[in-house]
Amino acid sequence: MILDIGEKVHIIERRYFDEDLRRHFVGEIIGSTENAIRAKGHVWVLDKMKGTFVQKPEKRERVIYPGDRTNINIIPSEVNLNEIKYITKPERILVVTDGKTFSLDINEFGLRR
């Protein structure tokens, strides 16, 4: 696997259907094989009432099987994962950021009106 222990990641689980829950994961790799990664971090889900992603409060350890339904983005090592937040710019562009140097435009997965 190309991911190393200690790397920070933002993972998008693509949906099969429009009604499926929009779920993202932000965490740190704690194990890796050719077919799976183990990461510890937080799940983020779309709150349709608020129109933005919200972090689930409990930290989780997940095993993720990368494939067609996952999009894995690397977060720079200096980013504090506790400072990650989602913002929607006025142009309806969805961005994951630490409010400092890290900014990940995920507009292709953006919110619909």
Task: Give the separation between CA 79 and CA 44, rounded to whole angstroms.
Answer: 17
3 belongs to a structural domain: no
Number of compact structural domains in the chain: 1
For 100, phi and psi rounded to 5 degrees? -125, -100
The SS3 call for residue 82 is helix
Q: Where are the alpha helices (DSSP H) in the chain?
A: none
Ramachandran sector of residue 99 (left: φ over 0; alpha: ψ -120 to 50; beta: rest): left
For 6-10, 42-46, 94-98, 104-108, which range has the lowest pLDDT when averaged over its residues?
A: 104-108
Range of the domain at 81: 8-109
Look up the pTM and report it: 0.85
100 belongs to a structural domain: yes
Q: What is the pLDDT of residues 53-80, one digit of tens each?
A: 899 999 999 999 988 788 999 999 999 9
1 belongs to a structural domain: no
62 belongs to a structural domain: yes
Q: What is the pLDDT of residues 23-57, one digit of tens each?
A: 899 999 999 998 999 999 999 998 888 778 899 99
**Residues making up the chain, counted from first to last:** 113
Q: How many CB atoms lie within 10 A of CB 83?
A: 11
Residues 76 and 84: beta-carbon distance below 8 Å: no
